[in-house]
Structure 1
Amino acid sequence: MMRPRARLFAAAAVVALALPALAQDRPTSILPPGFGDPAPPRINAAPAPSAAGAQPSATHAPSSSASPDSGATVASGAGEDQIATSDSLTIADEAAADVPEPQEVPDAARRDASLVGRLDPVAIGLGAEPWGAAHGLFLEQAMRRTEGALPSRWLHIALRNALLARAPTPFGLDPADWVAERSWLLLRMGEADASRMLVAGVDVTDFTPKLTQVAVQSALANADAAGLCPLRDGVGDVEPRVAPLIDAMCSSLSGNPEAAAADIDQSRRRGRVGGIDVSLADKLVGAGADTARAVTIEWDPVDNLNVWRFGLATASGIMPPDRLMSGAAVQLRAWAARAPMLSVEQRLPAARIATGLGVFSGRSLVDLYSGIYDRTDPDELTQSDAWQLRLAFAGKDQDARLAAMRRLWDKAKDPLEIEATRAMLGLAASRVEPDDSLAADAPDIIASLLAAGLDEAAARWAPVVAGMSSGLGDRCWAMLALAAPSTRGIDVSFSRIDKFIDRDTSNEHRRGALLVAGLAGLGRIDRASALRLSSRYGFGFERRSEWSNMIDGAARRGQGGTVTILAGLAFQSPQWTGIPARFVLHSVSALNDTGQRFNARMIAAEALSRS
């Protein structure tokens, strides 16, 4: 008979077998630690845990009681050396008297690495123990197999919040390594700010090699060269090729240009890192005081963009060329949305991607357009999207506002652009009074309201939708049946659903399958009705897998965080078309059953609005 702990490890191993079509055995990282070297990331290099239960390493990076640049540490070393070599006891005593006592961090100021996070799990609907009794190795493997970019904006938001939850480290993991795993997944999701929040929650003296490596990548993703400096003591062990370049940049930032120049020149001579990778570091060194170094960055020979090149370029106020940015993963492009040294015009394309993914809120994108509006020449203003957005909010009447909204909706073509526009226009759409004459605009208005999370404002359209004919009326009804806070006044009868499916012209009645999956997951129709419709139209809801058993089991045990991670694991496709309806059924049901009802409704409705 298998012991409970062995069963936990077996379940972790089963994840790799249950979903071969969803992800590779190891996700392809957008964060190559070799900075141009195509080898897979070292954080992935450790062998996967086996069913036998191999524990992850808890080895810590070298630590000290003082920070790497602490004046106390340097002065103490100098004083001891002077005492040992001095022939004069008087001089030695005087030298020792000038040396301050090393300052230890008081116990009260130390932070608990096992409880790192920025969000209260209870307040965000995850419960007091979001991971429950789930083994850390199981969660770690599920997270590593999640590539990052999800087709669902609302699932992205739910997963980000779960990773930021302030909850105890799951059993079987080193606390700092658990922070590293969460931070690394956030980076792959495009969440540079959220990744930095987690890294900043751990004292540097508690860093493990894994967390040091992720912290380097997080600082670069945030275009924060200065954020590399507290990591100097440990970075040589995890990124030895660039450690001298980091030393050079930090020396320059701390006012030591001679040491910085020497480190850069030495790196060039050794040749371990060359080309643009050294030039970008030299560019930052040249930005320091009294360096008298001028560096020109040549992008022509560069054929790929990685975290090192992105981080140092944007930290210098340089936007990499469009050909490199457009060829990079969408997550990396989303990092540029908050790069502080870039102009608002440079950040706008990245901000639209970030909003479509869920990294940015619609209001954040509106704020960015407001900055562009203020900086645009008056002669060019009326031709800009910023002007149209202003009209959408502040047009003289509803007709003028709707005309501007239509122009913005029609302009968006890419799926991420479409969802970003909807989220941006959510508040403007909430000012449109429901009216039977606006039936043609109702789908876009309701989709915008739901992209912004304004479910109550969307529900106000239910009376208008009830009187609409099929076609547009079906589309609006389906979104409201899933997203409205309640179904009062919305027909969700078996016959109404059957009519929707019968009129559904999508491939294999996909929209009908998503509707039934969402309604059943939310408990708005019973499972018997869902299975009856599944049998009639071939939706396949009766099929089970190890993944469905795991997420259903986590939901029964009330593990809201585990459920969210497993839902993210299942949604491994760049588009909604790649997500089977039965995955939506189990994910929405599990989220709903663990108290994440708002997210469950928004994900279910998003499946309809984006399909």
Structure 2
Amino acid sequence: MDLDTDIGELDDLLQAQYSLSPGQRRSMAQIGVLAPESGGISTDGFGEEGGEYLTSLIKGIRGPIVSRWSSILLRRVLLSKVDSPANVNPADWVAARAWQLLRMGEAEAARSLVLKVDGDNFTPRLYEVAMQAHLATADPAGICPYVPGGLRASDAPTWIMFRPICASLRGEQTAATSLLRAARRDKVATGIDYLLAEKTIGAGFDGRRAVTIKWEEVENFNNWRYGLGNATGVEPPDRLYALAGNHVQGWRVSAPMLAINSRLDAADTASALGVLSNRAMVDLYSAAYDDPDVSDDWKAQASMLRQAYTSGTSNERIQAMKALWNRSNNSLKSYSATILTARAAARIPAAEELVEDVSALLASMLSAGLDRNAARWGKIVEDGSDGWALLAVGAPENTVAVDYGALDDFGDQDETDGQLRSKLLLAAVAGLGRADTEAVADFASDLELDLNRSSRWTKAIQSASRRGQVGTVAVLAAVGMQGRNWRDMSPLHLFHVTQTLTRVGLEAEARMIAAEALSRT
């Protein structure tokens, strides 16, 4: 059977079975998921910036973002319903935003954004991103409406292999078999990739195919293997996940078809990335507590979390939290545990006798944005202590005094290389405007830190903030906060991030980024 002929014959079958009148088609002038009242930025959040510049900024986020809170802010901005900029096709603008969301581990968010564009407005790039977004959410059926257009836009093997898959999902098993044979003959896909396609076809209506998937000899991870494997109940093994970037753990933790054990294995990374909130983590652990199939280790941790929330005395609850905080020497898992216990920490009443644990409790609260709960400890913390520093940058108001003496005391206790924590603290209090000019200048002199240096990036983010471009500032903040960990973070960048976010009305986000900087260094 000629493959080109088969594709043509199936076009009508795979096209959506409805059409929209011109009046019902969605506008390309503004595209997004979140309105301002639901957490998005204003429609003019990128001002008059050109599309080529904005897409280049987004593409400039090539590495991981060190700050969880910066990632959370960037997700909101990329999902916001905003004016489509000039000098770029609106569909390509959506594709750039959705692709970055995928790289951040936000598979569901990426797919929801792609779905805001009508199929007849797709570009080759948006077809490509749509494919990846649906694979990342293990949703092969969702790709089917795009297959005809995808094949016209690209000769990628994935589109060809989706012909028989989609025919099967529509109950057209004869056509599916013919197309699959043609793909095998032409070696469009081979090995595990071909077998996963065949297994997906077997999952279609009246599929009647029994395909065994063996991962033992598979050496590489790709989105096809992730998406079709999870969609058909044959999840890739942990050794293949280990070959993938951390963003895949964000996809994994959000996949409802996976066992809770698997999702828990991904939860630490996903929460540190900002994909998983405190509430979502607690819900996941609560489900694990009641699931008979969950491993004993996860059961024990779920039980410990329950104690952190429900044990009788403050000390008993803090001991349970400490057991979770100290469950691993891995810094990522340790930080994830602080997010997990945030609301348990917020329920501890401020008391002098708990002063030794105050910095850890505050770090936990602020990891989930519980700043008002944290502020209750303002009269308990000692000037110059870790707890004082967290409140100096994280509290919603000037809860503690920030003067040269307290800054100097903090610096005297700082044992990080190059006094990095002191430099980050100075950058944050200066950016947030929480210390007077003289105190900032004196402490900067002690640390030999020059906050007046400039670069192309500092000029760009300052210029965008002066124009009130919330979206541009948030994207530039993410550009400036790339790195493997907080040791890669420049204090100068933190100063400009906190200052510009505050200027455009995102002071709360600036404070949480600053508190995170101190908690994670």
User: TM-score, with normalisation over the residues of structure 2?
Assistant: 0.93
SS of the residue 2:242 aligns to: helix
What residue number does 1:486 align with?
Answer: 397
CA drift at 1:534: 2.3
1:513 to 423, 433, 447: 423
For the pair 1:332 / 2:278, whether they are aligned, the reply is no
Q: Provide, for residues 262-312 of structure 1, a one-character-per-residue CA deviation record: whole Å limited to 9, x for no partner.
A: 222221211132111111111111112322211111212221211111111
CA drift at 1:188: 0.5
Which AA in structure 1 matches 2:237?
P
Is the 1:520–1:530 Cα contact (8 Å) retained in structure 2? yes
Q: Provide, for residues 529-571 of structure 1, a one-character-per-residue CA deviation record: whole Å limited to 9, x for no partner.
A: 4344323321232211011011011111101100011111111
Give the Cα–Cα distance (whole angstroms) in 2 for the partners of residues 297 and 335 of structure 1. 21
What residue number does 2:3 align with?
Answer: none
Could you tell me which runs of 5 or more consecutive residues in structure 2 were left unpaired when the two chains were aligned.
Answer: 1-10
What residue number does 1:585 align with?
Answer: 495
Which AA in structure 2 matches 1:289?
F
Q: Provide, for residues 176-201 of structure 1, a one-character-per-residue CA deviation record: whole Å limited to 9, x for no partner.
A: 11100000000011110110111010
Question: Within 5 A, what are the aligned runs for 1:88-167?
Answer: 104-121=19-36, 124=39, 126-147=41-62, 149-167=64-82
SS of the residue 1:318 aligns to: coil
Is the 2:28–2:117 Cα contact (8 Å) retained in structure 1? yes
Question: Within 5 A, what are the aligned runs for 1:135-534?
Answer: 135-147=50-62, 149-236=64-151, 237-376=153-292, 384-466=300-382, 474-488=385-399, 490-527=400-437, 529-534=439-444
Which AA in structure 2 matches 1:414?
N
Q: Which moved more, 1:538-547 or 1:589-598?
A: 538-547
Q: Provide, for residues 435-491 of structure 1, a one-character-per-residue CA deviation record: whole Å limited to 9, x for no partner.
A: 222222212211110011100111111111138xxxxx6111101100001114x12
Q: Which moved more, 1:414-423 or 1:523-532?
A: 523-532
What residue number does 1:36 align with?
Answer: none
SS of the residue 1:558 aligns to: coil
Which AA in structure 2 matches 1:162?
V
Is the 2:98–2:129 Cα contact (8 Å) retained in structure 1? yes
Larger radius of gyration: 1
CA drift at 1:527: 4.8
CA drift at 1:427: 0.8
CA drift at 1:66: 8.8
What residue number does 1:30 align with?
Answer: none
Which AA in structure 1 matches 2:277?
S
How many equivalent pairs are there?
511
Provide closer, same or farther for how the CA distance between residues 415 and 112 of structure 1 changes in structure 2, counting only shifts above 3 A: farther
CA drift at 1:239: 4.6
* Percent sequence identity over aligned pairs: 39
Q: Provide, for residues 336-358 of structure 1, a one-character-per-residue CA deviation record: whole Å limited to 9, x for no partner.
A: 11222211122111122211110
CA drift at 1:399: 3.2
Provide closer, same or farther for how the CA distance between residues 134 and 360 of structure 1 changes in structure 2, counting only shifts above 3 A: same
Give the Cα–Cα distance (whole angstroms) in 2 for the partners of residues 378 and 536 of structure 1. 53
CA drift at 1:139: 1.1
SS of the residue 1:133 aligns to: coil
RMSD: 2.2
Provide closer, same or farther for how the CA distance between residues 123 and 342 of structure 1 changes in structure 2, counting only shifts above 3 A: closer
Could you tell me which runs of 5 or more consecutive residues in structure 1 were left unpaired when the two chains were aligned.
Answer: 1-64, 72-102, 468-472
Is the 1:381–1:387 Cα contact (8 Å) retained in structure 2? no
Which AA in structure 2 matches 1:384?
A
What residue number does 1:69 align with?
Answer: 15
Q: Provide, for residues 4-51 of structure 1, a one-character-per-residue CA deviation record: whole Å limited to 9, x for no partner.
A: xxxxxxxxxxxxxxxxxxxxxxxxxxxxxxxxxxxxxxxxxxxxxxxx
Provide closer, same or farther for how the CA distance between residues 113 and 127 of structure 1 changes in structure 2, counting only shifts above 3 A: closer
Which AA in structure 2 matches 1:609?
S
Which AA in structure 1 matches 2:109?
A
Give the Cα–Cα distance (whole angstroms) in 1 for the partners of residues 60 and 298 of structure 2. 47
User: TM-score, with normalisation over the residues of structure 1?
Assistant: 0.80
